[in-house]
Structure 1
Amino acid sequence: MQVAALRDNEVTADYHRGFTSWVGLRAEDMQEPLLFYEWTLWLGGQLSVMNWRFTARRKGLSLADDSEKESFERMSPRSQQRWAVEKLVDAYENAGRPVEELKVKAPSCDADVILSEVMHSVPRLKGVKWR
């Protein structure tokens, strides 16, 4: 199965869900379609530059190979985050936009179960990092 391609440079909720599952990222659901540039800025801010590097490495990518390293290091952190999303999108497209289910880690204790239930009950807590 495959996620539909981007149309008119617009990222849909299905594309967002497919991409974030493919990279193994738990991100907020999109409320409405976003332009690709806006989406890369928004999604890029979900992780630090270091975490984006680790995410790219898990997918077999180097965010700044030798020819790009100097320009990558001169970018602001926000631009580096956006660049990371763009590079991962290229890899996602090259992989054929596969649909992958995000593997949810089983709760390790009762507190994890309670926090999970509270986050589903209180929408404002969905983006809060507890660890």
Structure 2
Amino acid sequence: MIKKDKPDNVVFSSEHGYNASLLPYATSVGAPVIKADDLAGWKGMGLNKVKKEFESKFNELKMQYQDLIEEFQWNELVYNARFSFEPIVGEIYHLYKDADGFDFLSLIGPKEWNKEHIATFRLNSDKKWILIN
């Protein structure tokens, strides 16, 4: 049987001496119970919040991407249309479909003649066609 110099309820270490106040756990019967925090709830709330933030950002980027694709498609349509003039930046132009089914660009507004109007655009300084209606 091993003989101890100190009783079990005394915290003594030959390396650190009496260090009960420095330990991360209770060292006597009368000490308050130390129990680990349940972090599952906190983690769950944090995870849900981050998930919603990422989902919101993803949906925002998805909408921006769809707008970009739509803008590209309109520009491709206008640049592939027929026109026999050099468009001026800042001016408004109208895209029509002729009797043969080809698209053409014109300065003439849709109320001024009876052609199949597709859309109205303004040319910006980056040579990008901005859809007006």
Q: Which category of TM-score, normalised to the shorter sequence, fits these structures? A: under 0.3
Structure with higher strand content: 2
Larger Rg: 2
Higher helix fraction (1 or 2): 1
Q: TM-score, normalised by structure 1?
A: 0.18
Query: Which structure ranks higher in relative contact order (CA pairs < 8 Å, sequence separation ≥ 6)?
Result: 1
